[in-house]
Amino acid sequence: MEQNMKVGVECYPMGELGANCYIVTDESGEMLVVDPGVRSEKLNRRIQSCGADQLRYILLTHGHFDHIGGVAALKQAFPSAKIIIGQKDAVFTEKDNLNLSLFFEGSIEHFTPDLTVQDGDRLPFADGAVEVIATPGHTEGGMCYVIGDCIFTGDTLISMTTGRTDFPTGSAREMRESMHKLAGIPEDLKVYCGHGESSMLEYERLYNPFMG
């Protein structure tokens, strides 16, 4: 795991479901955004204040509407940023029955990812890399991203619990395997979840009943 890179993390809870969107900034000023769930002028202004050309990636942990609903607008505002999603969730960006917007608030604005990723991929970022960990269970293409001493877990690992597995392409068996996979990471990473408060990986290993 890359731990020599130091990053700053800002959290922006978004939408009716309070999904967490994150801005991650390296010491050099290079940025990425994780899971922009709704169109947000506040988010746009924050990125602009750091320099629009500094936004490198729009990372998506999975394809549900409350995590991807603002992607098309963000891409329009910052076209040089690359949209990244797990290979098996790429179809969610244009199928509202899979991204669940059909059942909650109607269609989201569709978009096409720039790049799909798989387990073990590395994305160059600043002086280090974003490390990709496949964590199916909530969706079949769910991904976690390790950046410096932080891990962004989407709706896989949520502090003291885990995401639901009863949505299309979800799997309780795969979720158990994914949680055990995260438990096996030796470092004590800062955990930034898709909903709720942040945590520490060692704390989750000790007290989260789904990581046993």
Amino acid 1: pLDDT: 59
User: What is d(CA 112, CA 199) in angstroms, rounded to the nearest whole number?
Assistant: 32
Q: Which of 156, 154, 143 is nearest to 90 (CA)?
A: 143
Higher local confidence (pLDDT), 50 or 140: 140
User: pLDDT tens across 22-45, in order?
Assistant: 999 999 999 999 999 999 999 999
Amino acid 212: pLDDT: 79
User: What is d(CA 32, CA 71) in angstroms, rounded to the nearest whole number?
Assistant: 12
pLDDT at 105 over 80: no
pLDDT at 104 over 90: no
User: pLDDT tens across 58-97, in order?
Assistant: 999 999 999 999 999 999 999 999 999 999 999 999 999 9
Average pLDDT estimate for 124-153: 97
Amino acid 110: pLDDT: 97
Q: Which fold has domain 7-211?
A: Metallo-beta-lactamase; Chain A (3.60.15)
User: pLDDT tens across 39-55, in order?
Assistant: 999 999 999 998 889 99
User: What is d(CA 65, CA 77) in angstroms, rounded to the nearest whole number?
Assistant: 19
Every domain of the chain and the residues it spans: 7-211
Which residues on neighbouring strands pair with residue 147, listed in sequence order?
130, 150
pLDDT at 5 over 90: no
Average pLDDT estimate for 161-171: 98
Considering the chain, what is the average pLDDT of its residues? 96
Q: How confident is the model at residue 101 (pLDDT cuts 50, 70, 90)?
A: very high
DSSP per-residue letters across 121-167: -EEEETTEEEEEEE--SSSTT-EEEEETTEEEEETTEETTEE----S
